[in-house]
Structure 1
Amino acid sequence: MEYDVVIVGAGPAGLSAAIRLKQLAAEGGNEVSVCVLEKGSEVGAHILSGAVMDPVAMNELFPDWQALGAPLHTEVTEDRFLFLTESKAYRTPDWMLPACFRNHGNYVISLGNVVRWLGQRAEALGVEIFPGFAAAEVLYNDDGSVKGVATGDMGVDRAGRQTADFQAGMELHAKYTLFAEGARGHLGKQLTRKFDLDRGRDPQTYAIGIKELWEIDPARHQPGLVIHTAGWP
């Protein structure tokens, strides 16, 4: 399958790029074919984060995002910073909070819902999105440049045997291939090694994020409250 642009990963970066490409093409009176591959069963299936979002990028991508129904509903009303001990919490006075802990004008969001909405907007602009298809390998031209990607075979059992649902992987060729897999994408690591992209660069550092869902008394819920903590444990 031939496209102008193939994008690997239907997260915020991949979908925003797809949308902007279509917008720029329309502004110039041109046609550009854009395809997005997503390994999750649906757009947003692998986006777990709850987050505080600065809407500046949304303002640039869709100045009328509120009229379009973007799922940014809860504006931040208050920031609190608590230092925890094993049994108590000490609140830092608001005037001591640095700018990075002040979220005035930002929104509390489900990033999965925002990504699903971006997927809908991308498809409305003519972007082809293929959920459930993981990019398995990078394809190269004879000169060593990236030609596109190939998806993995589907319908294969644990022993590698084809089942009745077998479907061979497909090749997607593009003039430009954009890798938006996330921080530790397996294709990104291959490209880093092949093109020596980390030579002379500081090594990347990573952290493990843990998401907890709490069920609380609705009377204690304060929409728009953002709590930052440090200290124990």
Structure 2
Amino acid sequence: MNRVLVTGGSSGLGDALVRQLLASGHQVLRTDVAAEGPDDTPYLQLDVRSAADWDKAAAWCSEHWGGLDLLINNAGIATGGRIDVESLAAWDRVVDINLMGVVRGCRAFAPMFKDQRSGHIVNTASAAGLVHPPMMSSYNTVKAGVVALSETLSHELHPYGVTVSVVCPSFFKTNLADSIQGDDAEMNSVARRLIEKSPRTADGIAKVVLEGIRKQQFLIIPDRPALMAWRTKRFARPLYDRQMRKIARRARERAEGSV
């Protein structure tokens, strides 16, 4: 039985992961920014922007469980926009949550995992961390940063018996669209449609993610669209570039009122 902490655990993929982990018999600490959890699962309020909250989470795991086996850094928000439209304040917000939130979590639990000589860190990135569509500069950047951080830690922590995975799904149906803020209303609308109309569900993604964790895979790409996009970039770069530029050209045409 693993001792597991999940951030962003009250909704979307985080909630799906918590429910499936509990069903498999694991001990789970659900964390999120709200003051109270959605059910009677052990819950801790944790704002990933707060180093103090992270320290409290590590202390809770030490006090109640004597350590932790699996840290799932899942909390995040959706964002995006054209480089000259999205504000710097929006950039600051997504960097603080989606990238630095993961950094803080890894920093908070690395000493515990090193002392234990065991542990598994799972960081939720996105297909946007591997392939980089236009009009998504801030989101692509932070998710690519999560991939880079994960790879770095997979090597850095290996001598201590600590493993790392990074999760890179494409759009799936979730309430993530509710977190979209920013100045580029047109791009926000596109992102919302892609999330809400996806045929993929959080439960389906969570099932594949947990199987990847069980196998200790580093790169977990849990759906076919994300996998195909990544393979196209790696093995058919001219085709990938044409697809990305086609998306950008259509966006320009919409912006200029050509279509």
| Common fold: TM-score over 0.5 | no
Higher relative contact order (CA 8 A, sep 6+): 1
Per the normalisation by structure 1, the TM-score is: 0.31
Per the normalisation by structure 2, the TM-score is: 0.28
Question: Greater share of strand residues, 1 or 2?
Answer: 1
Whichever of the two has the greater Rg, that structure is 1
Question: Greater share of helix residues, 1 or 2?
Answer: 2
